[in-house]
Amino acid sequence: MSVELPALVIAREDGAVVAQNAPARRLMGSGLGRACWDLVGGIEGAEGLPCSRGGAQRLLARRPLRPADSCVSLEGESHHLACIPMNGFVVCLLNRGTEAPAQAVRLLTSRERDVLRLLAEGEDTAAVSDRLGLSESTVRTHVERMLHKLGASNRAALVALGFRLGYLD
**How many whole angstroms separate alpha carbon 25 and alpha carbon 20?**
7
Q: What is the CATH number of the domain that holds 131?
A: 1.10.10.10
DSSP class of residue 53 equals: T
Q: What is the CATH number of the domain that holds 65?
A: 3.30.450.20
Do 28 and 93 fall within a single domain? yes
Q: How far is CA 69 from CA 20, 136, 146, in A?
A: 19, 36, 21
Q: Give me the number of domains the chain comprises.
A: 2
Do 31 and 92 fall within a single domain? yes
Is position 129 within any domain? yes
| Secondary element (H or E) of residue 80 | strand 77-86
21-55 tens-digit pLDDT? 888 888 888 989 999 988 888 887 777 777 888 88
Do 15 and 73 fall within a single domain? yes
Write down which residue in 101, 126, 155 finishes a domain: 101
Indicate the SS3 state at residue 115. helix
Residue whose C-alpha is closest to residue 116's, from 87, 144, 84, 82: 144
**How many whole angstroms separate alpha carbon 126 and alpha carbon 116?**
14
What is the pLDDT averaged over residues 63-67?
74
Indicate the SS3 state at residue 7. strand
137-168 tens-digit pLDDT? 999 999 999 888 877 888 888 888 787 777 88
Mean pLDDT taken over the chain = 83
Query: Do residues 160 and 19 make contact, with C-beta atoms less than 8 angstroms apart?
Result: yes
Do 77 and 153 fall within a single domain? no
Do 90 and 26 fall within a single domain? yes
Enclosing domain of residue 141? 110-164
| Phi, psi angles (nearest 5°) of residue 90 | -115, 125
**How many whole angstroms separate alpha carbon 54 and alpha carbon 62?**
13
4-27 tens-digit pLDDT? 677 889 999 999 999 998 888 888
Do 26 and 83 fall within a single domain? yes
**How many whole angstroms separate alpha carbon 162 and alpha carbon 169?**
9
